[in-house]
Amino acid sequence: MRILMVEDNTSVSEMMSMFFKKEGWEVTYVTDGNDAVLTFNAAPQSWDLILLDLNLPGLDGMQVAMKIREVSKLVLIMMLTARDTESDQVLGLEMGADDYVTKPFSPITLIARMRAIYRRAEIANGTIGPVDVHEEFDVVTSTMKLNSSTREAYLNGQLIQDLTPKEFDLLRALAGKQRQVFSREQLLQLVWDYEYFGDERTVDAHVKKLRQKIEKVGPQVIQTVWGVGYKFDDSSVNGAD
Higher per-residue confidence, 237 vs 130: 237
Across residues 91-95, what is the average pLDDT?
70
Q: What is the pTM of this model?
A: 0.59
Whether residue 129 has pLDDT greater than 50:
no
Residue-wise pLDDT for 101-125, tens only, equals 888 788 888 888 888 778 766 644 4
Residue-wise pLDDT for 147-174, tens only, equals 887 788 999 988 998 888 889 989 999 9
CA 79 distance to own-chain centroid: 10
- Evaluated on CA atoms 214, 220, 221, 226, the torsion sign reads positive
The mean pLDDT value of the chain amounts to 83
Whether residue 127 has pLDDT greater than 70:
no
**Which pLDDT score is estimated for 201?**
80
Higher per-residue confidence, 137 vs 187: 187
Least confident interval from 24-28, 222-226, 233-237: 233-237
**Which pLDDT score is estimated for 109?**
81
Asked if the bond preceding 219 is cis, omega within 30° of 0, the reply is no
- Do 60 and 91 meet the contact criterion of CB atoms below 8 Å apart? no
Taking the C-alpha atoms of residue 65 and residue 172, their distance in angstroms, rounded to an integer, is: 24
Instruction: Indicate the SS3 state at residue 192.
Output: helix
Least confident interval from 4-13, 89-98, 123-132: 123-132
Strands (E), 46-156: 49-53, 76-81, 99-102, 139-140, 144-147, 152-155
Collect contacts of 183-188 with beta carbons under 8 A, ≥24 apart: 183/228, 183/229, 184/229, 184/230, 186/229, 187/229, 187/230
What share of the chain in percent tops pLDDT 90?
39
- Do 33 and 7 meet the contact criterion of CB atoms below 8 Å apart? no
Q: In what helix (H) or strand (E) does residue 222 lie, and over which residues does it extend?
A: strand 222-225
Angle at 68 between CA 82 and CA 62, to 5 degrees: 30
Residue-wise pLDDT for 35-92, tens only, equals 999 999 999 989 999 999 988 998 988 899 999 999 988 889 998 877 655 666 666 6
Taking the C-alpha atoms of residue 241 and residue 230, their distance in angstroms, rounded to an integer, is: 22
Residue-wise pLDDT for 67-76, tens only, equals 999 998 888 9
**Which pLDDT score is estimated for 177?**
92
Q: What is the DSSP letter of 180?
A: -
Question: Residue 208: which of 92, 102, 112, 119 has the closest Cα?
Answer: 92
* Burial zone of 45 (CB within 10 Å; 0-12 exposed, 13-18 middle, 19+ buried): exposed
Across residues 172-187, what is the average pLDDT?
92
Taking the C-alpha atoms of residue 44 and residue 125, their distance in angstroms, rounded to an integer, is: 12
**Which pLDDT score is estimated for 196?**
47
Question: Residue 151: which of 142, 116, 81, 170 has the closest Cα?
Answer: 170
Taking the C-alpha atoms of residue 10 and residue 40, their distance in angstroms, rounded to an integer, is: 20
Whether residue 222 has pLDDT greater than 80:
yes
**Which pLDDT score is estimated for 226?**
92
Whether residue 146 has pLDDT greater than 80:
yes
Q: In what helix (H) or strand (E) does residue 41 lie, and over which residues does it extend?
A: helix 33-42
Please, which residues bridge with residue 27 across strands?
3
Please, which residues bridge with residue 6 across strands?
30, 52
